[in-house]
Structure 1
């Protein structure tokens, strides 16, 4: 049976996913059979596996570990859809939509059974399981039902590696407070702590580390410098709040005057925004997450992202007048998944996904498409032949990605299919269900080229995309260079 190491945190967004991915790759590089695990994840950034949906972090960690992503790596996934309600995914399959109280009262027991069974299967197949916690392990109001942290530590008999983020300040208070608040039996399983996102002179931390270790008896095994290895973000904590601006990119050495900027409306229920990360890494490209009421005058292209609640986010855009501004926008426009559905003429059976009871909701009207929602859900990896039209004109070849969506879209007028498997394009507007579109060089290059042509900016030849450094290896190097793994029990090393 495998040994389990639980990477738990003092809070959300402290770097647990990066540490877990780095450990997976470090162990895999040394010939150890390792698998990721997160008993319960809450994220709208999901990926498709042969068995169904998993959170993006476990998909990434499986790739880092060199194993095929599986629903066992994330047996319970909660996808928030607004108004305190989430879609529950058990073993990759959608069960239904529930408010938090309903989930805990009616389905948490089933989730616990699914998580334990998944962990048992992984444990029989591997030497080490690198489990990732969720949020803070010290949420005392949830200790009796904390599946990703407390329950995992118990049923897996896991060593716990506690991760704390120094960037927000108060790192030692966070560590000490967390150790004070975790259940006593879990406190005994804490093998060490790691401080992440450090900037500056490492020696300045030494007095604090020494006093922390004296007070708690827990060793600080490493201080990881602030660095982004390029792994996909797990949740919208990385994005600005609704109604605020944020520009991603710009650290590529390309002046803003020689760059193009892609506007992305910051939907209240945005999902799979990792689709935009390849664009943000492109030299001379900025990705701006903008409020739904923002003007589009200063932008060169627009991408409508996915949504966990397409109907309600469509209504939010309509109420903000976004559709009127989009229809007068002179530049390439792409809608991905829910964004594709919004670009159409209407959504029918809308009450299935929306919070209201309307059967039909008018779309933004840029594509002759009608989407009909149903209870069934498409979750699959796909490979499509690309017909370079509209915002992707000039591109050809095969593109790969995945689809996760409810509803089917039907052409109602003259438009062309940008892919052999569907979508719609007309003039400078294109919609598709294909996630990871911009991971494909041919599609990304065509979109960026068309954005530059529309802007009138001549892209500089010396601005070359930096693809050096495997993000999994970079994450592993963060671990090996800054964390002392010797005190941890890591069988096989």
Structure 2
């Protein structure tokens, strides 16, 4: 353990992991809410994230970009909400958005840069990314008492330790107290934790303040002898054991979704029988992004969101939502090859396309070669909305609030709706259409296209859509149903009940 003194600025707690998907995001969000509930000024931070699930947030003037808004990974957006603070681009200064073929788009301080393969990133851009990460951390550290930093993947990737921005570098430049999380559900948790400690750089290993064992399903008394031996062997305390209890935080990326060609249903655990439920089909496109747009629907009692293979028969579903896409053209080609275009044109229920899904609903996409090497000029789209999208290299990144004039799939919705836009290209209308949301939205009959991510987070829109589905299905909407409890409070309670957080140096003043 380290006894290094903290600076006069914020204490930084780095939540690192033995691997990806071990629960770092849950621990980070839970700790942020727990501290916020105790009156601590706390903010999330992740030096470098890799995700196609992004949110548009405020970009501080001090970042030098001159832009009002920028993109960050969805986990840091969620963690900022957990901390009850306004999310900014400083909370995720470096974002890599995978686009296939080993390339990712580099986003620094919220602003999109070029597409790079790993070699080009590490050889030519990593130092710039590191400087951006340090600058963001410094700004946050002057504003808050505690920064809860989320690591990425494993903290012990020995081939990357000289350029591991989210883990090793963050631990060093932030002088962070490290909390290491391991997933017992995978098996071999003690070996994973021990091996990770052994492979960490010596200076960073000295900063490890404690371990968390996550996703435990057994009897704790059976595990305790192993914990005692582990602590004697390593000299590092186990802060506690978290049960396998998903608080329902939005997923970071498509690791939580089925592979292309498979299907998974969300929302079926609400206790409403399948015969009394409605089901929304979401095609599992290869380059899906911002799929968290669908999570508010899956939280509604009696609503099931089913990610389906592209050759699905849509006749059994109550609605279709086409989600966002990182590679709209390539996903459109995949849908057409599977025959989804014919299925969709024959479908008689409500259809909603969001962002890339909206662009795919149109008649065609022009200048498609700007995004994809598969097509040089114009490509026919799915042909269910009379609109045409023309791509350009310029990217629209903005927060949006619009008046709602509910029609079509959201008939009855009113008031205002808030969300964000991240897209390339502009959409034009081939004939007179209704615009129930932002001026660029389009509705005809049961088909709605919009660039507004976060659409179903707006209660009026969500309620109108869900009511329409139950009405069309001839079903009574489940009465007295309650939406799931706050995932932030659930995550906080999970930590407060099971972990000795006062054993961490930087947290001790808040957990006496």
2:217 alignment partner in structure 1: 199
Distance 2:249 2:373 in 1: 33
For the pair 1:108 / 2:126, whether they are aligned, the reply is yes
2:84 alignment partner in structure 1: 66
What is the Cα deviation at residue 456 of structure 1? 2.9
Q: Which of these residues, 328, 331, 340, is aligned with residue 322 of structure 1?
A: 340
For the pair 1:212 / 2:230, whether they are aligned, the reply is yes
What is the Cα deviation at residue 238 of structure 1? 0.7
Distance 2:103 2:438 in 1: 36
For the pair 1:14 / 2:31, whether they are aligned, the reply is no
Q: Which of these residues, 25, 38, 41, is aligned with residue 33 of structure 2?
A: 25
Q: Which of these residues, 296, 315, 319, is aligned with residue 314 of structure 2?
A: 296
Q: Which of these residues, 349, 364, 371, is aligned with residue 389 of structure 2?
A: 371
SS in 1 for 2:271: coil
2:448 alignment partner in structure 1: 430
Q: Which of these residues, 236, 239, 246, is aligned with residue 221 of structure 1?
A: 239
SS in 2 for 1:175: helix
Q: Please identify, of 199-208 and 240-249, the stretch whose mean Cα deviation from structure 2 is larger.
A: 199-208
What is the Cα deviation at residue 450 of structure 1? 1.7
Q: 1:33 to 1:458 in 2, by over 3 A?
A: closer
Q: Is the 8 A contact 1:191 1:219 kept in 2?
A: yes
SS in 2 for 1:194: strand
Q: Please identify, of 43-52 and 166-175, the stretch whose mean Cα deviation from structure 2 is larger.
A: 166-175
Distance 1:283 1:28 in 2: 30
2:175 alignment partner in structure 1: 157
What is the Cα deviation at residue 390 of structure 1? 1.0
Q: Is the 8 A contact 1:245 1:288 kept in 2?
A: yes
What is the Cα deviation at residue 465 of structure 1? 2.8
Distance 1:335 1:282 in 2: 20
SS in 2 for 1:396: coil
Q: Is the 8 A contact 1:50 1:380 kept in 2?
A: no
1:276 alignment partner in structure 2: 294
2:491 alignment partner in structure 1: 475
What is the Cα deviation at residue 323 of structure 1? 0.6
Q: 1:357 to 1:329 in 2, by over 3 A?
A: closer
1:168 alignment partner in structure 2: 186
SS in 2 for 1:288: strand
2:483 alignment partner in structure 1: 466
For the pair 1:237 / 2:245, whether they are aligned, the reply is no
What is the Cα deviation at residue 452 of structure 1? 1.9
> Alignment RMSD, CA only?
1.3
Q: Which of these residues, 432, 456, 467, is aligned with residue 449 of structure 1?
A: 467
1:78 alignment partner in structure 2: 96
Q: Is the 8 A contact 2:267 2:303 kept in 1?
A: yes
Q: Which runs of 5+ in 2 are unaligned?
A: 1-8, 60-69
What is the Cα deviation at residue 63 of structure 1? 1.8
What is the Cα deviation at residue 357 of structure 1? 4.4
Q: Which of these residues, 143, 146, 151, is aligned with residue 128 of structure 1?
A: 146
For the pair 1:488 / 2:507, whether they are aligned, the reply is no
What is the Cα deviation at residue 40 of structure 1? 0.2
For the pair 1:2 / 2:10, whether they are aligned, the reply is yes
Q: Is the 8 A contact 2:368 2:375 kept in 1?
A: yes
SS in 1 for 2:470: helix
What is the Cα deviation at residue 247 of structure 1? 0.7
Q: Is the 8 A contact 1:387 1:420 kept in 2?
A: no
Q: Please identify, of 269-278 and 400-409, the stretch whose mean Cα deviation from structure 2 is larger.
A: 400-409
Distance 2:245 2:425 in 1: 39
1:139 alignment partner in structure 2: 157
Distance 1:50 1:157 in 2: 27
1:42 alignment partner in structure 2: 50
Distance 2:328 2:188 in 1: 39
What is the Cα deviation at residue 449 of structure 1? 1.7
1:97 alignment partner in structure 2: 115
What is the Cα deviation at residue 372 of structure 1? 1.0
Q: Is the 8 A contact 2:438 2:452 kept in 1?
A: no
2:72 alignment partner in structure 1: 54
Q: Per-residue displacement from partner, 1:2-36 (whole Å, max 9, x unpaired)?
A: 22110001111111111111111111222222221
Q: Which runs of 5+ in 1 are unaligned?
A: none
